[in-house]
Structure 1
Amino acid sequence: MVKRPILALIHILESFTEWTGKLISWLTLFMVLVVVAVLLLRNVFGFSAIPLQESVTYMHAIVFMLGAAYTLKHHDHVRVDVFYHRFSHRTKALVDMAGFLILLLPVCVFLIIYSLDYVIFNWKIKEGSSQPGGLPYLYMLKTLLLALPITLVIQGTAQFLHNMAYLLGWKALPHGTDEDTEAVPQVTGDQEMKHG
């Protein structure tokens, strides 16, 4: 009875991370185009576009802070892997679950608690750029201090549940295995007719 809701929740959480990660990835292309535009304006036309320059900082922060969960989902973070790759699937699942509970979750909770008052204060005063003519949305940028740990907790929870589902026999493989998407073969109507 509990199996279906948990598997559905895993799918929803991981889909959210995947969707946001792919959306943010397009921002890197736009960021490069803006940097080229800033350089052309400054060096060719002698025009200093402060809002454009600051927008690059905003975009870089968004890519870095909101892309962390996507990176976690695809196991692309740098980590020391001396023993982990030799572990069985079951041991890897247990290590990942413990890592979430002992390391990732406490750090994210700390970041949320530590940043919350600071972000609220910035929203109250509507802090803007210190540069004349700069972007007036610095308080929104600082909200990423909360968005980073929240998105990491979302993805970490998805991975924890995925590994738990594997240990309970609800998933064929633990999270992070290359064959995740191909673990359970889909039987088509033609295949059913052949076996029938």
Structure 2
Amino acid sequence: MLSKLEKITDKIIDAVGYLTGILMIWLIFNVAWDVMMRYVFHDSSIAMQELEWHTFAVIMLYGTGYALRYNAHVRVDFLYDRLSPCKQAWINILGTIFFLLPLALLVIYGSWDFVMDAYTTHEISEDPGGLPYRWIIKAQIPLAFAFLIFCAFNFMLHNINILRGVEPPLPEPEEEVIE
């Protein structure tokens, strides 16, 4: 039952990751267009620049949950790597319960008024020619952290399945050696 639930949540997270990848392609075209307009035609659009920033923010916000699903998030591994998969699973579960979930809930709670103020005041960009509907980008903060909670649930399911002996641990992502 838990393995099946994990597979379902995996597919949802992968779909969001796929959409985030599409946003990355959009961001590349957006930046290329902005650069071409600025340096070739000596014209720029504040709205296009803001769209770059907002797209990048959405990619980062939703990418954190996707990274968690693939064990590609940042952690200090000087002790963790030496532990058995069961001990690693316990650390992952406890870290999720005591650190990740409270932080995500705090961000959702703290950003709610921020979003609602932008919505009720019909906040727009302060720059002339900027984007309207500022509440849409601000709403991504609590939504993305709700998605992170969903991903944390999936992460805990995976680690519970490791403890049950049903599933092997996720492989470590390939490390890039910086010299």
CA distance in 2, matches of 1:15, 1:45: 44
Contact 2:124 2:133 in 1 (8 A): yes
TM-score, length of structure 1 as denominator length: 0.82
TM-score, length of structure 2 as denominator length: 0.89
1:170-189 equivalences under 5 Å are 171-174=166-169, 176-177=170-171
CA distance in 1, matches of 2:38, 2:155: 46
CA distance in 2, matches of 1:44, 1:173: 53
**Paired amino acid for 1:113:** Y
Per-residue deviation, residues 119-146 of structure 1 (Å, max 9, x unmatched): 1221222211111121102110011210
Equivalenced residue count is: 172
What residue number does 2:133 align with? Answer: 137
2:88 to 78, 86, 92: 92
Q: Which segments of structure 1 move beyond 4 Å, counting only runs of 4 or more?
A: none
Fraction of identical pairs, as percent? 29
Gaps of 5+ in 1: 179-196
1:40-59 equivalences under 5 Å are 40-59=36-55
Give the aligned CA root-mean-square deviation in angstroms. 1.5
Structure 1 or 2, whichever has the larger Rg, is 1
Contact 1:65 1:147 in 2 (8 A): no
CA distance in 2, matches of 1:177, 1:39: 39
2:145 to 145, 149, 152: 149
The answer to whether residue 171 in structure 2 is matched with residue 161 in structure 1 is no
Gaps of 5+ in 2: 173-179
Q: Secondary structure at the match of 1:161?
A: helix
Q: Secondary structure at the match of 1:79?
A: coil
Contact 1:71 1:77 in 2 (8 A): yes
The answer to whether residue 57 in structure 2 is matched with residue 61 in structure 1 is yes
